[in-house]
Structure 1
């Protein structure tokens, strides 16, 4: 080999050395690339292990050596158990260490039950009484509401008078406003599917076909459409909206035997505490055009790329969500604990400042001043740290992804400092979506795209009820009774936040 090299000219020798250097460089690059891939795969494996083996729920595996359960207990054990039950009953009657009774609601009706001593009381006089109260209830009470309209005629039979029948939710239908309100509240607020409600009716010996209950639900929701359209208009002109979306399965699908994946687009106005659900078959950016096409003001979203089109508009100030940025760093705890914890600690300081503002009940101006004084230095420190650290971080690692997520949205993450009324994260709109997730586990899907939109409508109003602490059943009953007769100029009076709620019990 050495002899062969010695016989080479100077130019050829340079070429050989250059080729060797390129080969070494290529091998080094391949090794570096493989190291990056290995680190990335390790971080993914760590995250999946955390997801798989984290304390999400209890797991149980049966013992294969376990014997069959006995069908009958030993007679001696039965006697012993009966004695223990007797002692337990006597113990619970004495109510040891009882700390006092909860105060009963004053607005509830009282049903009195008088109890006199047994035996002859003719030779005795009453010297007082002791009163004991308990909270009791009856199952849903069904009754028939019968309208009896009397006819009057003039003595000369020239005219006949009869009172007009009050407006009814379903013309010529049998359900009253209270029954319809109960059905809708049970389904969309308490997540009780219609077939279970049918079973409740059957227990009271009221047989109603499923198709009839479904028809009642549809017709009742259709009555609320004018109110919903007014809510859509009012939401469009809000100057600060939080937006998010959540999936819903719809049976109306182009594929036979498959359900269509539709989406609820949810718009929350933090200043007015109103929520609007809007259904669309798509998750594409075009779905938000009706609501955000002409939007002007502050728009707060997560990192979904669809919102970028609206966020870049000149009239829009985009706010990102610190909760989403924090979640990315939480995922990186198993990948790079030291740096992930450093970032989480600084984000924790930002939330501590927000809690301080709420606890001290600061005004919007005072909150802005507090943020500029205390939050801004933390944000600047975190931003400089990410800028320096991201240069030496593998982009595909989880810590790299967390840094990249925050770095790409830094201006939007800092924008909540502009006004004390703006929020640090998008959590309130996510909270408004939670009832939908519970509903999906119970009624599973919507029967059609139209049914999904009607569901969006009632979800909107019930979410507003929750935010303003309004009894949803009482509001809905009132709205159904009045929406057909109210002047269209006063339609906003039927909004849940404008409903004068009756007292509710609180124990």
Structure 2
């Protein structure tokens, strides 16, 4: 058999061979290019994955007390933003075939009370694109997106027809609706927006002025300031009544936080203080929080605010409260402050003794968690488990103290607890005393965050006004009320409301 004759029909001519060789070279180049891009994408994904893991460790692995609450809040926002960007970049570098559709099953449902605007997306034709037959609806795929509408300004027109009697020539008209600001331009809704933006969202007035200007509404900063002052004056009686109701409680929390006040005579700021007082969550009755603005940290301010009050006061070791405890007020210590001394020591050098103290304090908090879950058994649980644990912990503190050097960090941490032991352990002998002062620190936290925006308070009067409004807003939030909605309703009612029924306007749930 002649082999050349057999394969002759399958041989390509010279031009075809050249074309085929060129195409093979082209596809080889394309393949090499795709492989290079794939390797680059894989390296990029690997780098982003490592960075993502690092950010997740920062976001979810940090110790609860490694940063202050304000720092942690700001850093968490940055971490969340970085995580979102990195995840988007990883998705961008994945090949289409390897991308997995995002699952929305685990996404938090949008609130039911929000209004829904439906957008129906029907196919262009009701006939099948393949065979031409009529389509039949079998189900619906529904997805939701959250939207927001910026502050929308509108005008209320109050029209009061004037009527006259032809017989006696008497004029009649409906009375002018009562308002917080008589004859003023601002409605209760606008006053609410300004007040909530300033004291809840901590936006300076010049930013509110700019927001309104973008919508073609000129609100002079001087007018905004004047409205805030008039609103604060109208709300002052409510804040004072709230303080009266707070002093009727048997157990209170107290703390203070510094704020800067403008000192025009010297062209700089001086330090003032917001003193915070709060009811105890283990007591009956709705929670109440009250702020008291003062120009110093003198303990006389706490004595003035609590004048005539008797009960248990939960505080830290600040000496300004000490004079109160010789006037019939019992001191309750804060175990969280005592724990923080050991936590700082453990975070600094991994001290095994500090770790041991943290573990014993942790056992006390574990008992408290169970006690909170069963309020009726709180006193019995504390008597059965908490008191023995405290006795063991106290003995450990005494024995450990003699083994450590004076003036060392561990000695100072132990001395803090031993010096305040009576106050720290008082909670265990009652069902209505808290283990720590964290409740008041949670109330102060928004003030600390707000300081970064408004920087300073303009005057003592402005500070007292801020304290009154913050007291009402904080109490509303503690009772599950929307502060802005409560304020709008209150400003609408307040002008014509009888003073003897002022309790009905307070941001508290109605009595059962």
TM over 0.5: yes
TMscore range, shorter length: 0.7 to 0.9
In 2 relative to 1, CA 499–481 (structure 1 residues): closer, same or farther, beyond 3 Å? Answer: farther
CA distance in 1 between counterparts of 2:495 and 2:478 reads 26
Deviation (angstroms), 1:484 = 2.1
- Give deviations 1:363-418, integer Å, cap 9, x for gaps: 25x10110111111111111122223323433311111111111111110111023
Equivalence for 1:328: 341
2:314 corresponds to 1:281: no
Aligned pairs (5 A) from 1:71-150? 95-99=101-105, 103-113=109-119, 132=142, 134=144, 135-150=146-161
Deviation (angstroms), 1:101 = 6.8
Give the 3-state SS of the residue equivalent to 2:263 in structure 1: coil
Equivalence for 1:363: 375
Equivalence for 1:44: none
TM-score by length of 2: 0.74
TM-score by length of 1: 0.75
Give the 3-state SS of the residue equivalent to 2:158 in structure 1: coil
In 2 relative to 1, CA 388–104 (structure 1 residues): closer, same or farther, beyond 3 Å? Answer: closer
CA distance in 2 between counterparts of 1:493 and 1:188 reads 23
Equivalence for 2:458: 447
Q: Which runs of 5+ in 1 are unaligned?
A: 1-49, 59-80, 501-507
Equivalence for 2:442: 431
2:355 corresponds to 1:345: no
Deviation (angstroms), 1:499 = 6.7
Kept in 2, the 8 Å contact 1:194–1:214? The answer is yes
In 2 relative to 1, CA 390–143 (structure 1 residues): closer, same or farther, beyond 3 Å? Answer: same
Equivalence for 1:175: 186
2:463 corresponds to 1:457: no
Equivalence for 2:273: 263
Kept in 2, the 8 Å contact 1:249–1:444? The answer is yes
CA distance in 2 between counterparts of 1:428 and 1:172 reads 42
Give the 3-state SS of the residue equivalent to 1:251 in structure 2: strand
Kept in 1, the 8 Å contact 2:205–2:224? The answer is yes
Equivalence for 2:321: 307
Kept in 2, the 8 Å contact 1:335–1:399? The answer is no
Equivalence for 1:27: none
Q: What number of residue pairs does the alignment pair up?
A: 415
Which of 228, 236, 252 does residue 225 from structure 1 map onto?
236
Deviation (angstroms), 1:85 = 10
In 2 relative to 1, CA 388–483 (structure 1 residues): closer, same or farther, beyond 3 Å? Answer: same
CA distance in 2 between counterparts of 1:248 and 1:166 reads 39
Equivalence for 2:330: 317
CA distance in 2 between counterparts of 1:101 and 1:341 reads 38
- Give deviations 1:480-500, integer Å, cap 9, x for gaps: 111222221211111112379
In 2 relative to 1, CA 131–139 (structure 1 residues): closer, same or farther, beyond 3 Å? Answer: farther
- Give deviations 1:307-355, integer Å, cap 9, x for gaps: 1111233x22210000000011122324681221221111111001011
2:225 corresponds to 1:211: no
Equivalence for 1:493: 504
Greater RCO, 1 or 2 (C-alpha within 8 Å, sep 6+): 1
Kept in 1, the 8 Å contact 2:332–2:424? The answer is yes
